[in-house]
Amino acid sequence: MTAPGYRLVIGNKAWSSWSLRPWLVLKRFQLPFEEVGVRLRQPDSKSRILAHSPAGKVPALLAGELLVWDSLAIMEFLADRHPGMAIWPRSGDARAIARSTSAEMHSGFQALREHCPMDILAQTPKDILPDAAVLNIRRIVELWRDCRSRFGGSGPFLFSEFSAADAMYAPVASRFRTYIPDLAPFGDDGTAAAYVEAIFDMPEIAEWIEGAKQEHAAPSGA
């Protein structure tokens, strides 16, 4: 099915973890779309976002006259619109766990988000983290290990082939690379470290990082 004129409104690629998620799905599944960037942390950022979405947040996907906002809702919409693509795993059991893990990311891990915000161009390891963030990291390491053990036998991603669940956790992989390059103290047996590498080996992530570099080099008013 040919993709209808999708337009994805996103924030800065260095920081906007929620923007990365649906962008990655669109890119990975080769769904054509127009990218509309809004610089965050600027005086007019809010008004520029509101011009596209009354929710006042990025990302937002426009499909013709239809507006879909929120990263997870956008990915569910794309999965419904393109059922021939395995945006969620095809196996019923794997799909249920993929949705559960994605929902946990969507609503949880607040301490990690607060103390380790996505900054995909940075390399600033942290020696000390609050207990709540440590618990978040341990849970994610455990979650990745469980998904890879149960469903990841034939590929490098959580459910073997890339899916929306990987899009949900790609910004977490970025946080780990920036702030916590050694996951062994958090219970990693090597599975989580290998998964971070798999995410960063994706050409789509390389493209996103290059975009972040270009944004960083451009004048703030551009």
pLDDT of 146: 98
Burial class (CB in 10 A: 0-12, 13-18, 19+), 139: middle
Pairing mode of beta strands 60-63, 66-69: antiparallel
Beta partners for 62? 7, 67
pLDDT tens per residue, the chain (222 residues)? 344 589 999 999 999 999 999 999 999 999 999 999 878 666 776 777 676 777 778 899 999 999 999 999 999 999 999 999 999 999 999 999 999 999 999 999 999 999 999 999 999 999 999 999 999 999 999 999 999 999 999 999 999 999 999 999 999 999 999 999 999 999 999 999 999 999 999 999 999 999 999 988 876 544
| Structure tokens that stand for 126 in this block | 């942290």
Q: What number of CA atoms fall less than 13 Å from residue 144's CA on the CB side?
A: 27
pLDDT of 217: 83
| Structure tokens that stand for 139 in this block | 């849970």
pLDDT of 166: 98
Total Cβ atoms within 10 A of residue 175? 23
